[in-house]
Amino acid sequence: MLLPFVQALMIGSPSASSTAGRNGEHRCDEAAAIGLLITSGIHGAAHRLAHQAPTQIMRPTLASAPVGAHAPADTCGIREGVGGSCHSAGMTTEQPPTWEQILNDPVAYGYSEGDAERIRGERTIGQVASLLHSRGQDSSAALMLDVQFLTIQRRYGENWGDDDSEFVAILDIESYVVPRFNQECRAQIESALDVVRDHEGAPQVNDIRIREVIPTVGARWREGLMRDLVAEQPNNQARKVRLEPTHITEDGLFFTNNEEYRVYAVLKDIQRDLPAGDTILIAPLPGARARGTTMTPDFLVAYRGRVGVIEVDGPKHDGRFGADAQRDRLVQNAGVRVVAHILVEDLRSRENVEILVRDFLHRLIAP
């Protein structure tokens, strides 16, 4: 994917950007990266980066800036149109057009109507997610982060008249996320979407439809699928997760949710960067037996002769502190040195995950 590559070109962070703005020094690394993608003709990646950029100013600026609005000093003129610029360390960087400008006249900025439709959908996704968050409906807001495309379709009945039609919002998502869009979340999303469309003067939607994204395949898809099918399968790992219709997998290993996968990704990156002869053993969701009970820790980690356990605790652990403490004592009596409980809400950023995982490893090998 291009997004990690482009993010590697950026220098600033949210705190650095706000500090630079207070000091009158305009930081425009995200804007420069987006401009680079647009000038290279990679429009889709440019707008996804604009939506996912790590700065706190980027998302509201591009997602909902009013036409003709002027940017604050620390946004480097990101709300200005083509030809706007920001100055950093003596360099001048042209800014890309705002979404509003593109949607008003896509052809003038070199975009197709299809590009404009995708931008319009991305803007709506951001507005709905932000509105859900402001309502305190964070679970539904988080689900909107997994929506890749949003389209509105008008469907006609047998009479093909305006009075015999309805509007359906179609959310395109990956297959493994589908079960998370339950009826309650769909109702909350539909309510927020109706508010957005009311501000646009558009008819309200009558239904929310969840649609799986079609996998991208190439000419050699058969060889790739056969290779995946005959690859070594996990044995006693994630025994319950493997029975679910959808699950997250990587390296032939299964994961219950995105938070577990984020911890695994950080552990694997640390493992990769260790010098030769030094490594970490990572066992996600291993089946284990202690006296009187069978358990599945989220992670069993071995490093420099020490063994530790990482548990990713979500809402299901509320009210189970006694049972968790008893299980912790069992595994520690068996020789596990450190049992770390990490809350799901602390895993929302890569930076936080890395801090928590490195702290766990430091305590694991401490004298």
Structure tokens at 206: 């009558």
Q: What is the pLDDT of residue 67?
A: 33
Amino acid at 100: E
Residue 2: left (phi > 0), alpha (psi -120 to 50), or beta?
alpha
For 212, which DSSP code?
A: E
Select from 72, 68, 34, 26 the least CA-distant residue to 50: 34
For 295, which DSSP code?
A: E
* CA 303 from centroid of its chain's CA atoms: 29
Sign of CA dihedral 270, 278, 299, 311: negative
- For the chain (367 residues), the mean pLDDT of every run of 10, in chain order, is 42 40 43 52 52 40 35 36 43 71 84 86 93 93 90 80 80 86 92 94 91 87 76 52 63 86 94 92 90 86 95 67 78 93 88 94 93
Buried b (16+ CB within 10 A) or exposed e, 315-332: eeeeeeeeeeeebeebbe
* CA 16 from centroid of its chain's CA atoms: 22
Q: What is the pLDDT of residue 230?
A: 63
- Mapped onto helix, strand or coil, the DSSP state of residue 255 is strand
Domains and CATH numbers, the chain: 2-109 (no CATH), 114-212 (3.30.300), 241-365 (3.40.1350.10)
Select from 163, 182, 340, 173 the least CA-distant residue to 266: 340
Structure tokens at 255: 């994961």
Q: What is the pLDDT of residue 165?
A: 82
Amino acid at 145: L
Other CB atoms within 10 A of residue 310 CB: 25
Q: What is the pLDDT of residue 156?
A: 81
What length does the chain have?
Answer: 367
pTM over 0.85: no
Q: What is the pLDDT of residue 250?
A: 85
